[in-house]
Structure formats: C-alpha cells, structure tokens
Amino acid sequence: MRVLVQGAGVAGLTAAFELAVRGATVTVAEIRHALGGNASWFAGGMLAPWCERESAEQPVLDLGRDAAEWWEAVTPGQVTRAGTLVVAAPRDAGELERFASRTSGHRRVDEDEIALREPDLAGRFRRGLLFPDEAHLDPRQAMAAVHDRLSAMGVEFRFDADARHISGFDRQIDCTGMATDDDRLRGVRGEMLILRTPDVSLSRPVRLLHPRFPLYVVPRADRRFMVGATMIESHSGGPVTARSMIELLGAACALHPAFGEAEIVETGVGVRPAFPDNLPRVEARGNTVAINGLYRHGFLLAPAMARQAADLVFNHDGTKELAHETVGQRRSA
Amino acid sequence: MFELLGTTLPSRLLLGTAQYPSPAILADAVKASGTSVVTVSLRREMAGGRAGEKFWSLIRSLGVRILPNTAGCHSVKEAVTTAKMARDVFGTSWIKLEVIGNHDTLQPDVFGLVEAARILCEDGFDVFPYTTDDLVVAERLLEGGCKVLMPWCAPIGSALGPVNVMALRSMRGHLPGVPLIVDAGLGRPSHAANVMELGFDAVLLNTAVARAADPVGMARAFGKAVDAGREAFSSGMLEPRDVAVPSTPTIGRAVFS
C-alpha cells in the first residue's frame, strides 16, 4: 500500500514510522524546506503524562503512559528517564498541595532529597514532588533521529512539497496541524526561550509552580535549557512578546538566580492545534486519515495516535473507502 | 430573576472564562452553573489582530451574555483602548473595567479607574468597574456615570473569601439602589452564599471554578450557593443572640401528671 503522509511534524513522523514498519510504502511531504519551524520544533519534549494530568483529562495519561517506551525503541539514546521534579517557593506551598492532589505517580521529596537529585537547587526549595517514571527528550534531535531512521527504511521525504498537488497514493495521512481545514481546531500560542549558562546544571525537567506564572525548565545538551511555555488563546505565530519574555525569565530566575546571567540563545513561538476538549483525534474521511489536536502533548501522544491511524489504515480493505469515523478519545462527561 | 441595566438575567452568578482545562469543560461549567453572563478577557489575545477569534467564537457559542473585560490593563489609556476593541469584537456596550494598580496584589488603581470609567461612560459604555470596598471610591464611580459596581471581597484569585465583611456591609447599606456584584476573591461556595446573604445582587468568579479538580461540579455548587444566599437574604435571617433559646419552649409543653 502506498501512503502519503502530509506534514513532517511529530504527528507525521510517528505516523510514517508506524505505517512503514507495518509494510506500507510511505512518502512524507512537508511544505517547509526542512524539518522544523512547526509547533513540534518548539516543544518542551517532556514525556510527563502524570504531571500533565494536573490540567489534562484522563485520556492524556492513558494514551501517554507508553510514550517514553516508544521513543526509546524508535530513537535509541534520545530518551532520558530521570523523572520530573516539581517545586514551589515557600509562599506558594499551597500550589504544591494542589498539584499533588490532582496528580498520581509521584512521591514527596524534602530538602535533602532535592539537594541529592538536583545539587544546584540545594537550599532553594524545602519541599517538592518527584514523578520518577517520567522522561524527556530533545524534540529536534528526536525528530532528526526518526527522519534518519525512516530514510534508512526507504521512506521518501519530499520537502518544499505541497501535498495537495501530489497524487497517486492509496491513502493519505493528514498531519498538517493548524494548516488543515477544520473549523473545530483553534490555535493555542506557546512562547519559549532557550537559555545557555554554564552555572546551572539540571538532570531532569523541573516545574516551578506559581499561581500566575507556572514554568518548566528542560535541560538540553551543551548547557542549554528550554524554558517554557506560555498558553495563549491565539493563532498568532508572531514574535515572543516582552510581557511573556519577562514572565518566563522572572520565573526562571526564581528557580535559580544564575539564569539571570544566562545567554538567551533563542526565542520561539509554536501554535498548538487544539480541539475544544484539548484532546487529540484520529479521524478517517474518504481515503484520508487525519491526526490532529495534539495540543501541548505532541511528543507525549503522537505515538498512540500514530498507532491508531495505522490501525485504521490497515484494518480496512484497500478497495473499500474508509468510513467516516473517529478513533480519537472523546471526553465521556 | 435579576434585573441588570434593563436586562433580565435568570442567574445571579457571573462566570469568568479563563484558566479552564479546555473550552469544552468551560462550556459544561457554564451550563452546570446556570450562569447567564460570562466575562472574557481581551488583552493578551490581541497579539495578532483577531488572532483570538477562534476562542471568542467558542465563547459566543455558549449562548449567554458576554461581559468583556480589560484584565491586565495597568493604565487608563490601555483600558480605554481595550474597552473599545471589546465593543467592536463582541458588539456590546457592556465592559468590566479593570485598571490594575499593583502587580503583586492586582489591586485596582482606583484613581485611574474613576478616570477611565468617566471617559467610557461618556462614550456610551455600560461600565462595570472592578473596585475595592472603599465607599468614597464607589461614590466617585457613580458620579462618573457607572450604574453598577463590582467591589472585591479579597484579591483576585486569592480564594480568601470576604476579608472585610464590615466594609461590604457598609457599602451595601449606603448604596441600597445600586446593583452591587462582588467580584474577585471568592474561594468556595460558602463565601458566595455569605456575600449574597449580605444583600449583594450577584457574584462574579473565575479561578475558584476553573481551577477546581472538577470545574463542572464546582460551577454547579456555586450556582446553588448563590441561589441559597439570595433566598436567605430575601427570607429574613435570624440575628445572632447571646443566650440560648430552646426551640421547644418550656411553657406550653404538654403536662403529664
């Protein structure tokens, strides 16, 4: 079966992999001239379904639980399994209690254990939560790794290619995110920074709870740290605003004052596609299967969505049109 | 039923639309609460012209009246500009006016508030000013043309509930004919019932519902509390006494001999 995957973001890459390993002849068409520039490129890369459950619904935990395993298997060496540390300033202790009561899969850590796990945070926080089963990756390296793996498997990549003008495939997988024509989708703007400093070292993503400016810092290679991310109801992909920058930097400095001396090596904006319930969907229409609405959970939920899409493609007789159906997890309430 | 600026509203609860886990949960919460007015903030979404349009159309589709607000504005000029944008976007003259004076406490800048209120009232807006519980400021706002006031009962998002009941009572007592909506600081349904028992006309809240573990359940609970508080106020509550009074009197009890 010949399948055209439209879009080389995290949804497209994971879908291409699931289809290719099941024997499809896969072509990936991407409108940009290279990997990157999409929402996935600006993601945090946290595989943190237990933490996300604080504001996300149960399907995010159910679908995201196995994500770290998938990424480890497909992109060996890319995943760091060191958990997530959640801390709050003493005056925001209530936020920590709130977070703990909304989530599972964590244990409480005291000042000594925080110092042991993250020596640079020693003496800065007296209480925290450790989510030991969570993991993280560098989205850009992981995307490149999937790309290379797919190329080695014989998947063809066409960059600068508008998929609307490409034909001759049995199936199409629409992974174009905000570019797709779907009235239900809205954009949720996320702004992020990449800082570089030799003065701070972290082994795992750290979330700093704050009633107004919650923040996460994800350590990356070369002394870089991804600091994110705002959540604004807007489809604007314009530059980071001064206000958001101030909030992000203020929170980063509250986590560790040495971030004040860091270099800002990059600022970025991603527009996350979201359905009204902020949960993803895999839907079939005619010969097209669409994966969309990954919201702020691209790397976390893409593997599960890719599997569902591949199931849809392969469980149907190639001569029959796909029925209009939804496999996405809908909220039950 | 509740008469507000010539409009009859079925509910005395007004709900904010920020910070919900998803727009779908927001929609369910609005339904469960029975609210007939929602507030929506305009400022941050303006980043790219009408870049927030999708979210706004979700809000419009809730089928309730919209009270746009100027949340996050720190100056008269910003607040007036935002109010005008809001009138264009939502086609309503209603505006909840916020002019923030202190970044930490989000306390209103009452001087800027009075000035902005006067400008907007002259321009034909129905201004709902978010103010403190200060009576003199309240009078200045009324002089400036406001027909409704929205005093806080505690700082925004603090969930403290009424921290100065005396001031709230005094405001209610001094301004018997003015619709007073307690805005900001409510944490739990009993807080809402409490201020409604004091005779306030309505309450507006957001964080207490949006950030609850189950926003829909909490919205329903607040809806009930607001109704209960109002009905208690209308039904005449017993004043506290210093002595115990048995509910079954000794005199008049049946005598068994």
Coil, strand or helix at A56: coil
Q: Which residue has the higher pLDDT, B131 or B71?
A: B131
Residue B218's closest CA among B40, B11, B28?
A: B28
pLDDT tens track for B12-67 = 999 999 999 999 999 999 999 999 999 998 865 554 567 778 888 888 888 899 99
Coil, strand or helix at A93: helix
Cβ within 8 Å of residue B88, ≥6 positions away:
none
Nearest to A232 among B21, B45, B211 (CB): B45
Q: Are strands A322-326 and A281-286 parallel, antiparallel or unpaired?
A: antiparallel
**Confidence class for position B244, pLDDT limits 50, 70, 90:** confident
Task: Determine, for residues B24 and A238 on separate chains, whether the beta-carbon distance falls below 8 Å.
Answer: no
Measured between CB atoms, does B91 come within 8 Å of chain A?
no
Count CB atoms within 10 A of the CB of residue A33.
10
pLDDT tens track for A291-317 = 999 999 999 999 999 999 999 998 865
Measured between CB atoms, does B60 come within 8 Å of chain A?
no
* A187-200 per-residue burial string, b: 16 or more CB within 10 A, e: under 16: bbbbbbbbbebeeb
Distance of CA A46 to the CA centre of its chain: 6
Measured between CB atoms, does B22 come within 8 Å of chain A?
yes
Poorest-confidence range of A218-222, A325-329, B210-214?
Answer: A325-329
Assigned token pair, B178: 């003015």
Which chain B residue shows the shortest CA-CA distance from A58?
Answer: B21
Radius of gyration of chain A (CA): 20
Which chain A residue shows the shortest CA-CA distance from B49?
Answer: A236
Domain boundaries, chain A: 2-45+138-183+276-332, 84-132+186-274
Measured between CB atoms, does B211 come within 8 Å of chain A?
yes
Residue B46: its pLDDT value, please?
55
pLDDT tens track for B122-176 = 999 999 999 999 999 999 999 999 999 999 998 888 889 998 999 999 999 999 9
How far is A8 from A176, CA to CA, in rounded Å?
8
**Confidence class for position A223, pLDDT limits 50, 70, 90:** very high
- What are the helix (H) ranges across B147-214? 165-174, 189-197, 207-210
pLDDT average, residue stretch B88-110: 90
* A154-166 per-residue burial string, b: 16 or more CB within 10 A, e: under 16: ebebeeebebeee
Residue B32: its pLDDT value, please?
95
User: Per the annotation, where are the binding residues of B for 1-deoxy-D-xylulose 5-phosphate?
Assistant: 157, 184-185, 206-207
pLDDT average, residue stretch A266-291: 93
Q: How many CA atoms lie within 13 A of A229 on its CB side?
A: 28
Task: Determine, for residues A233 and B45 on separate chains, whether the beta-carbon distance falls below 8 Å.
Answer: yes
Share of residues in chain B with pLDDT > 90 (%): 66
pLDDT tens track for A84-140 = 999 998 888 889 999 999 999 999 999 999 999 999 999 999 999 999 999 999 999
Task: Determine, for residues B47 and A236 on separate chains, whether the beta-carbon distance falls below 8 Å.
Answer: yes
Nearest chain B CA: its distance from A64 CA (Å): 17
pLDDT average, residue stretch A2-10: 95
Task: Determine, for residues A232 and B44 on separate chains, whether the beta-carbon distance falls below 8 Å.
Answer: yes
The residue to which tokens 């506290």 are assigned: B240
Q: CATH top-level class for A2-45+138-183+276-332?
A: alpha beta
Contact A105, A135 (CB under 8 A): no
Task: Determine, for residues A234 and B211 on separate chains, whether the beta-carbon distance falls below 8 Å.
Answer: no
Nearest chain B CA: its distance from A29 CA (Å): 28
Residue A333: its pLDDT value, please?
38
Residues of B in contact with A102 (CB under 8 A): 213
* Planar angle of CA A95, A98, A104, nearest 5 degrees: 125
pLDDT at B252 over 80: no
Nearest chain A CA: its distance from B39 CA (Å): 15
Nearest chain A CA: its distance from B149 CA (Å): 26
**Confidence class for position A218, pLDDT limits 50, 70, 90:** very high
Nearest to B47 among A98, A238, A278 (CB): A238
Report the catalytic residues of B: 96
**Confidence class for position A327, pLDDT limits 50, 70, 90:** very low
Q: CATH top-level class for A84-132+186-274?
A: alpha beta
How far is A322 from A17, CA to CA, in rounded Å?
21
Task: Determine, for residues B55 and A98 on separate chains, whether the beta-carbon distance falls below 8 Å.
Answer: no
Q: Which residue has the higher pLDDT, B155 or A12?
A: A12
Residues of B in contact with A211 (CB under 8 A): 157
Contact A173, A12 (CB under 8 A): yes
Residue A332: its pLDDT value, please?
42
